[in-house]
Amino acid sequence: MVTRHQVLVASNRGPVSYTAGEGGELTAKRGGGGLVSGLSTVKGDAVWVCAALGDGDREAVRRTGGRLDPADTDGQTVRMLDIPPEVFSDAYNGIANSVLWFVHHMLYQTPLEPAFDTEFERQWRSYETYNAAFADALAEDAAEGAVVLVQDYHLTLVPGMLRERRPDLRIGHFSHTPWAPPDYFRMLPDDPDGGVAAEVLRGILGADRAAFLTQRWANAFTECCVKLLGAEVSVGDDGEMVVVHEGRETRIGVHGLGADAAFLRERSRRPDVDERMASLREQIGHDGDGNPRKTIVRVDRTELSKNIVRGLHAYRRLLDDHPEWHERVVHIAFAYPSRQDLAVYRDYTAEVSRVAQEINAAYGTGSWTPVVLHVKDDFARSLAAYRLADVALVNPIRDGMNLVAKEIPVVSDRGCALVLSREAGAFAELAEDAITVNPYDIGATADALHRALSMEADERAERTKRLAAAATALPPTAWFTEQLDALRG
């Protein structure tokens, strides 16, 4: 008999993933991130529904029937769905990551793409099937009147589908990405009676509440609802916007997910982080006067929207414009593998390495490596770099929030100057104490790096204090409970 739950979370990627060893044994690895720590507060009566992402996950589902062993999940109740691999791949790689992600981050090179043809139409049907699998599982596991929090662009159709199956539920949808402005969003097939653009909007409007990381993304969503669906928008008594469409109301929320200060401060002081700091310090080395070199740190998934390549070009420009920094600064760039099933991500990853090598070949000396690039994911080493950062470089061309911008000021040992793109969601909360840049402007980013490296220690410390306070204003658990309360209220 199925245990029904009062709180349900649904996301493509779950809190745990499995790898199968040669002897068939499964190893569970728990992921990090805001959602994992947010949900840990509601362990008792909550279930997290996610998809099996790879072969290890599918094997775990086969062995457990999809209800994972709590020993693997730190006590959380997790239901993993084994959606047929071809359907999953069409939905995740084809639609979510190659279409919706590209639309919201405005990544298309429009002379040739997108081209919505039969392949897209087939993949879209898989996306519908994949969303329906989640809606079925949630409908099955939800207690009467339960609260369901659906996450992200992978699951835009779930709120509407779930409402059809279970009108008694309180449904929320949260977008962790930016939202595209209407002129860009309507690149999607946009026949109001059946187009994909309308389907996405209607899917999310199936929720009682649709929430975003910043007001800017919330406004873009409501503008799309008005322009593409003819919906009406008003402001409720509590100050939140309300979208009215086909007689239903969907409230619009904004919750700026913050960094988890307690976790980060404790985790970053453990011995494995100290060890990595020692080896990074060796790689960074000392300048001609025997002082440790300054560091410009960036830590990202190798993600097209993170703008790693222009970051490297800006660093090269800094070295050209300010030869006084030669031998005195090192750019520590961690670019961890992401979405490697997609050729465009593989090409981008190769370009990051190529440009880093080019800079080292052009400027490096026997004693100085200007760019230290690491491409193997290592959380302890990321925290070590955070602690050592003199400057944090966060220059995405577009980003829902960017938690790295919030985490580095919390963890850095001596305070860091933050160079921050005006297109990151974090800009809304951190702009005042950051040095802000247009991410396309290499010259301006190089200037910002120079200013950041030159900032006096006192000013840097003061700014870092204020950045850390703003960055931790809404920690993951509060971010999560705020949404639950809003839905229950």
Q: Name the residue nearer to ligand F6P (CB basis): 13 or 165.
A: 13
Token couple for 461: 């410390």
Q: How far is the CB of 160 from ligand F6P (least distance, A)?
A: 20
Maximal C-alpha separation, the chain = 72
Q: Does 369 bind ligand F6P (CB under 6 A)?
A: no
* CA atoms lying within 13 Å on the CB side of residue 436: 12
Q: Does 93 bind ligand F6P (CB under 6 A)?
A: no
Q: Name the residue nearer to ligand F6P (CB basis): 176 or 298.
A: 176
Q: How far is the CB of 110 from ligand F6P (least distance, A)?
A: 23
Q: How far is the CB of 165 from ligand F6P (least distance, A)?
A: 25
Q: Does 173 bind ligand F6P (CB under 6 A)?
A: no
Q: Name the residue nearer to ligand F6P (CB basis): 73 or 464.
A: 73
Q: Does 260 bind ligand F6P (CB under 6 A)?
A: no
Rounded to whole angstroms, the Cα distance separating 264 from 383 reads 8
Rounded to whole angstroms, the Cα distance separating 483 from 476 reads 11
Token couple for 359: 């800079």
Q: How far is the CB of 362 from ligand F6P (least distance, A)?
A: 33
The torsion angles phi and psi of 468, rounded to 5 degrees, stand at -65, -40
Q: Does 400 bind ligand F6P (CB under 6 A)?
A: yes
Q: Name the residue nearer to ligand F6P (CB basis): 129 or 338.
A: 338
Q: Does 176 bind ligand F6P (CB under 6 A)?
A: yes
Q: Name the residue nearer to ligand F6P (CB basis): 105 or 293.
A: 105
Give the DSSP letter string of 214-281. Answer: SHHHHHHHHHHIIIII--EEEE-TTS-EEEEETTEEEEEEE------HHHHHHHTTSHHHHHHHHHHH
Q: How far is the CB of 210 from ligand F6P (least distance, A)?
A: 16
Q: Does 258 bind ligand F6P (CB under 6 A)?
A: no
Q: Are 277 and 388 in contact (CB under 8 A)?
A: yes
Q: How far is the CB of 443 from ligand F6P (least distance, A)?
A: 29
Q: Which of 110, 169, 181 is nearest to 138 (CA)?
A: 169
Q: Which of 200, 157, 155 is nearest to 180 (CA)?
A: 200
Q: Are 371 and 399 in contact (CB under 8 A)?
A: no
Q: Name the residue nearer to ligand F6P (CB basis): 177 or 214.
A: 177
Q: Name the residue nearer to ligand F6P (CB basis): 13 or 286.
A: 13
Q: Name the residue nearer to ligand F6P (CB basis): 152 or 199.
A: 152
Q: Name the residue nearer to ligand F6P (CB basis): 90 or 152.
A: 152
Cβ-based neighbours of 371, under 8 Å, separated by 6 or more? 312, 315, 330, 331, 333, 356, 359, 360
Find the distance separating the first CA and the last CA of the chain, reported in whole Å: 30
Q: Does 202 bind ligand F6P (CB under 6 A)?
A: no
Q: Does 338 bind ligand F6P (CB under 6 A)?
A: yes
Q: Does 159 bind ligand F6P (CB under 6 A)?
A: no
Q: Name the residue nearer to ligand F6P (CB basis): 182 or 400.
A: 400
Instruction: Work out which of 166, 293, 306, 339 binds ligand F6P, going by CB under 6 A.
Output: 339
SS3 category, 210: strand
Q: How far is the CB of 152 from ligand F6P (least distance, A)?
A: 5
Rounded to whole angstroms, the Cα distance separating 135 from 441 reads 44
The secondary structure element, H or E, covering residue 168 is none
Q: How far is the CB of 370 from ligand F6P (least distance, A)?
A: 29
Q: Are 215 and 255 in contact (CB under 8 A)?
A: no
Q: How far is the CB of 19 from ligand F6P (least distance, A)?
A: 16
Q: How would you list the strands of the sheet with 417-421, edge to edge?
A: 371-374, 329-336, 294-301, 391-394, 417-421, 435-437
Token couple for 280: 């990074």
Q: Name the residue nearer to ligand F6P (CB basis): 32 or 236.
A: 32
- Give me the amino acid identity at 132: A
- Neighbour-count burial of 1, counting CB atoms closer than 10 A to its CB (0-12 exposed, 13-18 middle, 19+ buried): exposed
With CB atoms as reference, the residue minimizing the distance to ligand F6P is: 176
Q: How far is the CB of 338 from ligand F6P (least distance, A)?
A: 6
Q: Does 255 bind ligand F6P (CB under 6 A)?
A: no
Q: How far is the CB of 294 from ligand F6P (least distance, A)?
A: 29
Instruction: Work out which of 177, 250, 395, 436 binds ligand F6P, going by CB under 6 A.
Output: 177
Instruction: Work out which of 141, 152, 260, 423 binds ligand F6P, going by CB under 6 A.
Output: 152
Question: In the range 7-46, which residues lie near ligand F6P by CB under 6 A?
Answer: 13
| Nearest-10 crossing angle of helices 215-224, 196-205 | 120
Q: Name the residue nearer to ligand F6P (CB basis): 151 or 472.
A: 151
Q: Which of 435, 464, 459 is nearest to 447 (CA)?
A: 435
Q: How far is the CB of 400 from ligand F6P (least distance, A)?
A: 5
Rounded to whole angstroms, the Cα distance separating 235 from 230 reads 17
Rounded to whole angstroms, the Cα distance separating 284 from 296 reads 11
Q: Does 105 bind ligand F6P (CB under 6 A)?
A: no
Positions in the binding site for ligand F6P (CB under 6 A) = 13, 152, 176-177, 338-339, 400
